[in-house]
Structure 1
């Protein structure tokens, strides 16, 4: 019975330590335009961008959505027109741009710069 109690204590301490470290090491950052509007929201882990970053136009519309993994772009980065239509879709693998598509205001693909 005493062994189960000790195992339980160790598990509780481990979970609390994990949550504490995650809160300290995984931080939300908000950057503002000089005029006070939100410019970008992103997260860092070990002082490197990690997770989703949203960049906004000064008027509040979403401008870009990026995905980071340990400081490197990973997956799709999408740039939007102010009307919400997709403008540029880039695909990254470990920080290297491997594909880039450009669209018109109606969302139609007008150019594929390259596809690695």
Structure 2
């Protein structure tokens, strides 16, 4: 990221220009030393790009009728069973993010299939 700063588009960072126009003499205190690319998950450019993509989809297809939130509970029986098996087999910490994320993905896929097909 640091080696390619000149290649990144910084026109979305209007705050630096505004602070310069206000007369701030030390621009090192303004802004960030490194601009993260849009491919860096969670960066402002990533979020801005995803927002623009979502708005383009809404313009093309139409706005969604539903807004559904799907959350995970670490106390689901499937997760608890697998964590207990892992703990008995290896003695590892029971907070296994890989098990939780896999069970969440399976349940999310089932939920989406039920919404689409049924």
Between structures 1 and 2, the one with greater helix share? 2
Indicate the structure whose relative CO is greater, using CA pairs within 8 Å and at least 6 residues apart. 2
Determine if the TM-score, normalized by the shorter chain, exceeds 0.5. no
Q: Which TM-score tier does this pair reach, normalised by the shorter chain?
A: under 0.3
User: Which of 1 and 2 has greater Rg?
Assistant: 2
Q: TM-score, normalized by length of structure 1? A: 0.25
